[in-house]
A and B are shown apart, each in its own frame.
Chain A
């Protein structure tokens, strides 16, 4: 099975985020980056499918030069090769614009399966996989926890709300967006890290893919959220803060 995994590099979860000049973007200076979590699960699913059924796992990611580091990590975990869509203007493209880049890079590879995480931790649009499926004319399923290969295609387990699930049968080629938690993530081994350095990492620029990039939706401003409640921060040492909280729980919330 030839599997492509679309991954995204996102700011680290605990990163201190600041609003950039002009209030239009996140300030990227000093930010640390990591592989988006549900994309890590998509990669894991792909690697396990390859181990069971053979084939090839190709990673694709769009973004500036720093994205190369996240791609190398994916190669170290076991992906066979990678495509880096080199572009500095990812933030100015809308979801359709980004999906067009990915679709253009994926199409000539004609994979049996395209996997990606269900949602990015930075923009949280949760759309990229579904739009790429639409652009490539492929069937798709979202929020997938488990993938099984069948004679006619795939049977996948889809998460629904409030603890419900369903299975879906679909033909290949197909696009799946992967929910976190379906598998246990692997770490890169030392051998894997070493091997990653010799694996193929092909760069293609956004202009070489010649896709339409005029956005139909603009991120006009970023701002700190309004507080929904006024939080009373209890100061002092851990012991003092704990004592203050117990007072509140006893006399104001009345649960003690």
Chain B
């Protein structure tokens, strides 16, 4: 067994940034262990994308191609990659931690008697893989102890996509054996949820509210602060799940990704699913009663206190400053 294999994901015929981050993570791992790094792309037609990957420095690019892989299915991808891994026998397999990877990589690892170390944020000597516990309150350091390939998926934003190297790789085609009957699920084409009328992505100022608000009726105090600032109102997932604000105001991995000048988080603890949607903000302010809330790890300014006291005081102070 040798080498690091990175599985690159295509979405609507392009490669998203998180896959380049996975390539960079694979290269970091390869460099620390003196192992060659190869990359694989799965689909029905992968020629163009394979050429794009080849320029990012892996020694080899594998085009895993089959007509039955045109649309993603867990069964198809698991079968195809199982065969590829058995042939290539890599020591490490690195994935981007996407919804698609979450859907099949745990089964792929289990089929080979292994466990995916999911949502990794750092790789250090050993190798030790760091991932977050308790919604980001603690870090856990994991060490693989198995004898088979070690499966790892990396969190969005944890590795720098521009750290991927450059070069020209050899490109080969791998054709897995898949029968139509082996694919048990029939997926539809993806569709958009509701028509999006709120474009948080271009907002300069955002006031965002989380679970700490406790009740739908209390949202008005945060709305008043947003109005005073001239900011858009946004929310973390639980608020939209409860129907207190529409889904289109949700920031995070399942909602919108924002990068305003100011992101003021009220009563948001900072679970990673939320942070990935807003950590590109220029200035983050957090108001939270829990001084250990993970949101403070990425905040520039923090107020530790009861939001029901702090927010009205802040609204008044903003209004006064604007007069």
Contact = CB atoms under 8 A, between A and B. Distances in A.
Interface of A: 11, 13-14, 16-17, 19, 26, 94-96, 99, 118, 121-127, 130-131, 133-135, 139-143, 158-171, 179-181, 184, 215-229, 231-234, 238-239, 241-243, 245-246, 248-250, 253, 255-256
Nearest to B283: A253
B317 A164 contact: no
B184 A171 contact: yes
B132 A225 contact: yes
Given A217-B144, A253-B282, 5 more contacts: A125-B118, A127-B118, A139-B184, A219-B142, A231-B300
B184 A216 contact: no
29 contacts: A13-B269, A14-B290, A17-B134, A122-B134, A126-B102, A127-B106, A127-B116, A130-B110, A134-B107, A140-B107, A141-B185, A159-B99, A162-B254, A163-B192, A216-B146, A218-B142, A218-B143, A219-B142, A221-B140, A222-B140, A225-B136, A225-B139, A231-B296, A233-B302, A234-B301, A242-B310, A249-B262, A255-B205, A255-B262
Interface centre among A123, A160, A167 (most CB of B within 10 A): A160
Contacts of B143: 217-218, 220
Contact of A163 (B136, B193, B298): B193
B148 interface: yes
B254 to A, nearest CB: 6
B186 A169 contact: yes
A231 B136 CA distance: 16
B317 A217 contact: no
B196 A180 contact: no
Contacts of B321: 246, 249-250, 256
Given A126-B102, A245-B314, A95 B115 contact: yes
A242 B74 contact: no
Interface of B: 74-75, 78, 98-99, 102-104, 106-107, 109-111, 113-119, 128, 131-146, 148, 184-193, 196, 204-205, 211, 229, 237-238, 240-241, 243, 247-248, 253-257, 261-262, 269, 272, 282-286, 290-292, 294, 296-306, 309-310, 313-314, 316-318, 320-322
A161 B142 contact: no
Given A134-B107, A163-B192, A216-B148, A181 B241 contact: yes
B299 to A, nearest CB: 5
A253 B262 CA distance: 8
Contact of B98 (A161, A165, A222, A232): A161
B138 A227 contact: no
Contacts of A181: 237, 240-241
A228 B122 CA distance: 13
A164 B192 contact: yes
Contacts of A159: 99, 254
A225 to B, nearest CB: 5
A105 to B, nearest CB: 17
Contacts of B133: 26, 122-124, 222
A26 B138 contact: yes
Contacts of B115: 94-96, 127, 215-217
A134 B106 contact: yes
Contact of A161 (B253, B300, B309): B253
Contacts of A253: 261-262, 282-283, 300
B134 to A, nearest CB: 6
Given A17-B137, A142-B103, A223-B138, A218 B185 contact: no
Contacts of B132: 124, 225
